[in-house]
């Protein structure tokens, strides 16, 4: 794994655009990540969505998400290391670390970089990986 550039996982600006349905993060290394909120919702790293102790989570059952469930209502900073979105259905237990948000950046450049290094990319049919759940 190449080590990330300085500031690569350090957000300079976080902007939730509820009308557009996106979350934009500008990183201190100059990169910008735009997450469609539905993508973000699918990535929810909480124990309920992802499962724990080897058990599948709710998202592993490939539910069809309702409008409420992908509607970003609010987003809170968790210390210096993560954000916790609140969704239209009241779900708010997912802490998305900046490191994981940068690692999962869905932009063309990062997707190509991950493909080059063999790192799984977003949009794979199954998302049974627990990449986001490893925060200690």
Residues in the site for Zn ion, rule: CB under 5 A? Answer: 44, 46, 49, 94, 105, 107, 110
Burial class, 21, CB count within 10 angstroms (exposed 0-12 / middle 13-18 / buried 19+): middle
Q: In this complex, which beta carbon is closest to Zn ion, that of residue 16 or of residue 102? A: 102
Place of tokens 């490939």: 62
Map 92-111 to HEC letters: CCCCEEHHHHHHCCCCHHHH
- Least Å distance, CB 129 to Zn ion, is 15
In the complex with Zn ion, the residue whose CB is nearer, 16 or 132, is: 132
User: Residue 44 CB, nearest distance to Zn ion (Å)?
Assistant: 3
Helices and strands, counts by H and E, the chain: 4, 6
Write down the least CB distance from residue 31 to Zn ion, Å.
6
State the nearest-atom distance from the C-beta of 132 to Zn ion, in Å: 10
Which one, 8 or 81, has the nearer CB to Zn ion?
Answer: 8
CB closer to Zn ion, 44 vs 82: 44
The strand pair at 32-36 and 72-78 is best described as: unpaired
């Amino acid at each position: 794994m190449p080590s990330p550039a300085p500031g690569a996982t350090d957000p300079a600006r976080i902007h939730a655009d509820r009308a557009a349905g996106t979350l934009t993060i500008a990183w201190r290394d100059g990169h910008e990540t735009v997450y469609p909120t539905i993508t973000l919702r699918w990535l929810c790293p909480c124990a309920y969505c992802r499962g724990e102790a080897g058990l599948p989570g709710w998202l592993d059952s490939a539910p069809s998400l309702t409008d409420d469930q992908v509607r970003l209502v609010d987003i809170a900073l968790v210390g210096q290391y993560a954000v916790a979105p609140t969704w239209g259905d009241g779900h708010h237990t997912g802490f998305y670390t900046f490191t994981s948000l940068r690692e999962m950046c869905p932009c063309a450049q990062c997707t190509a970089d991950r493909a080059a290094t063999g790192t799984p990319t977003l949009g794979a049919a199954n998302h049974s990986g627990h990449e986001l759940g490893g925060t200690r």
